[in-house]
């Protein structure tokens, strides 16, 4: 099994590359990058081959690709990979517009290649325990949720409105929306949002608060802000509180950490010892190809999550809750 990586614009590419190098029976076959300098440096650092263009990489003897380009480039690279008959693991959000997302769904379906969205949070063991609690009926009926996915301001293409399709709201809304849809088998039917740029001098939004109504009758607030300071003790958080009729459960993924207190700056850091969720994600992608089955995280999941983020921007612009058809 040979897998390549298309673009290192998204930082998650490094984590996925690590997993490719760990997985038995998988060869990290090479990378191509629109930024040749970055691509060459990364290739030599990670001990893999650098291809001069995306076309060359796709002509090589590989089974699949991981697309970690800027959000706005996902569609073009997906179309290229599908035409070359390569299976695809695509970074979130799926695209910057619903039209692009739908086109990606269609082209991969018609080409008969597998398409998996990179929503690694589904592989967080605490999240899986929450899903099991729900599936086993321990939570009861879900009444309300509160989620936060805080982070630091990432820079790069993330703060280019064209390339990213927005800022913190499009970057961080999709993880929690995907988890909620997946765990509780529900859709989002209404979105209200306050969105602003209040932390950094950048061209995109960096904070917001979404208030959601779900088709299962529950409501939720979701904070996707890049509100952690640059020297915050970890990258951010993934937090989800669920109030059910029988139980209240809080998932706070980053709590599986040591507190490390030193004598030099930054003198307080968290040392995460929890499971690597990217490992589960990439392993599943490889297994889908090996066993010739459809990925569980589909283009449709990517489109649905993007739809909520785009509705949030519309709500913030109009000042009104936005209804979604489901």
Partner 1 sequence: MRVGIVGFGTMGTTHAASYQRIADCELVAIADIRPERRALAEEQHDVRSYATLRDMLSAEALDVIDVCVPTFLHREHVEIAAEAGKHVFCEKPLARSRAEGQAMVDACRKAGVILGVGHVVRFFPEYQRAKAVIESGQMGNVGTVYTYRGGGGFPTAWQDWYARYEWSGGLTLDLIIHDFDFLRWTLGEVERVFAKSTWGRENNRMEHVLVSLRFANGVIGNVEGTWLDLGTFGTKFEFACDEGLLTHDSHWSSALKSYQLQSAAHTGKPGVAVPESPMAIDPYTLELKHFIECAREGKEPMINGEEALRAVEIAVAAQESIKTGKPVRLERG
Query: Where do contacts with partner 1 occur on this chain (CB under 8 A)?
Result: 143-144, 146, 148, 150, 192, 194, 196, 198-200, 206-209, 211, 213, 217, 219-221, 223, 225, 227-229, 232, 243, 245, 248, 319-321
Q: How far is the CB of 236 from partner 1 (least distance, A)?
A: 11
Indicate the residue among 169 and 179 with the shorter CB distance to partner 1: 169
- Least separation in angstroms between CB 274 and partner 1: 20
Report how far apart the first and last C-alpha atoms of the chain are (Å, whole number). 38
Complex with partner 1: residue 225 or 298, whichever CB lies closer: 225
CA gap 277, 45 in Å, rounded? 23
Q: Are strands 207-214 and 248-252 parallel, antiparallel or unpaired?
A: unpaired
Q: Residue 112 Cβ, how far from partner 1 at the closest point, in Å?
A: 44
Contacts of residue 279, Cβ cutoff 8 Å, sequence gap at least 6: 19, 22, 123
| Cβ atoms < 10 Å from Cβ of 219 | 14
Could you give the 3-state DSSP secondary structure of residue 116?
A: strand
Q: How large is the C-alpha radius of gyration of the chain?
A: 19
* CB of 161 vs partner 1, minimal distance in Å: 19
Q: Minimal distance in Å, beta carbon 261 to partner 1?
A: 16
User: Which of 53, 116, 61 lies closest to 88, judged by CA?
Assistant: 116
Q: Which residues pair with 137 in a beta bridge?
A: none
Query: Please, which residue, 41 or 143, has the CB nearer to partner 1?
Result: 143
Nearer to partner 1, 187 or 213 (CB): 213
Beta strand pairing call for 115-118 and 207-214: unpaired
CB nearer partner 1, residue 88 or residue 176 = 176
Torsion sign across C-alpha atoms 22, 24, 26, 28 = positive
* Residues 6+ away with beta carbon under 8 Å from 110: 82
Structure tokens at 266: 């930054």
Find all residues with CB under 8 Å of 11, minimum gap 6, and list them.
154, 156
Closest separation in Å from C-beta 243 to partner 1: 6
Name the DSSP class of 3. E
Within 10 angstroms of residue 47's Cβ, the number of other Cβ atoms is: 9
- In whole angstroms, give the CA distance from residue 78 to residue 5: 12
CB atoms < 10 A from the CB of 62, how many?
Answer: 20
> 40 vs 152, which CB is nearer to partner 1?
152
**Residue 107 Cβ vs partner 1, minimum distance, rounded to whole Å:** 38
Instruction: Output the smallest distance, CB 151 to partner 1, in A.
Output: 11
Which residue lies nearer to partner 1 by CB, 144 or 163?
Answer: 144
Query: Is 147 or 302 the residue whose CB approaches partner 1 more closely?
Result: 147
């Amino acid at each position: 099994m040979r897998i390549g990586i298309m673009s290192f614009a998204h930082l998650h590419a490094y984590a996925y590359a690590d997993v490719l190098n760990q997985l038995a029976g998988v060869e990290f076959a090479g990378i191509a990058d629109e930024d040749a300098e970055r691509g060459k440096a990364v290739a030599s650092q990670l001990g893999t081959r650098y291809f001069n263009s995306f076309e060359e990489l796709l002509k090589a003897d590989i089974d699949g690709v991981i697309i970690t380009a800027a959000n706005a480039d996902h569609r073009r690279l997906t179309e290229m990979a599908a035409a070359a008959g390569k299976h695809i693991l695509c970074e979130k959000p799926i695209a910057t517009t619903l039209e692009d997302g739908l086109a990606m769904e269609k082209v991969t379906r018609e080409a008969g290649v597998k398409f998996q969205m990179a929503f690694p949070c589904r592989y967080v063991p605490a999240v899986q325990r929450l899903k099991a609690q729900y599936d086993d009926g321990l939570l009861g009926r879900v009444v309300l949720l509160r989620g936060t996915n805080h982070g630091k301001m990432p820079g790069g293409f993330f703060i280019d409105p064209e390339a990213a399709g927005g800022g913190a709201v499009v970057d961080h809304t999709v993880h929690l929306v995907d988890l909620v849809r997946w765990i509780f088998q529900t859709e989002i039917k209404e979105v209200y949002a306050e969105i602003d740029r209040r932390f950094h001098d950048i061209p995109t939004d960096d904070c917001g608060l979404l208030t959601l109504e779900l088709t299962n009758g529950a409501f939720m607030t979701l904070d996707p802000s890049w509100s952690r300071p640059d020297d915050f003790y970890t990258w951010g958080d993934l937090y989800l509180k669920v109030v059910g009729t029988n139980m209240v459960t809080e998932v706070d993924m980053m709590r599986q950490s040591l507190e490390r207190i030193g004598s030099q700056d930054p003198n307080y850091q968290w040392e995460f010892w929890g499971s690597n969720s990217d490992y589960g994600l990439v392993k599943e992608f490889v297994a889908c190809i090996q066993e010739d089955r459809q990925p569980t995280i589909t283009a449709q999941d990517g489109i649905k999550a993007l739809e909520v983020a785009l509705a949030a921007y519309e709500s913030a612009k109009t000042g009104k809750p936005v209804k979604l058809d489901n």
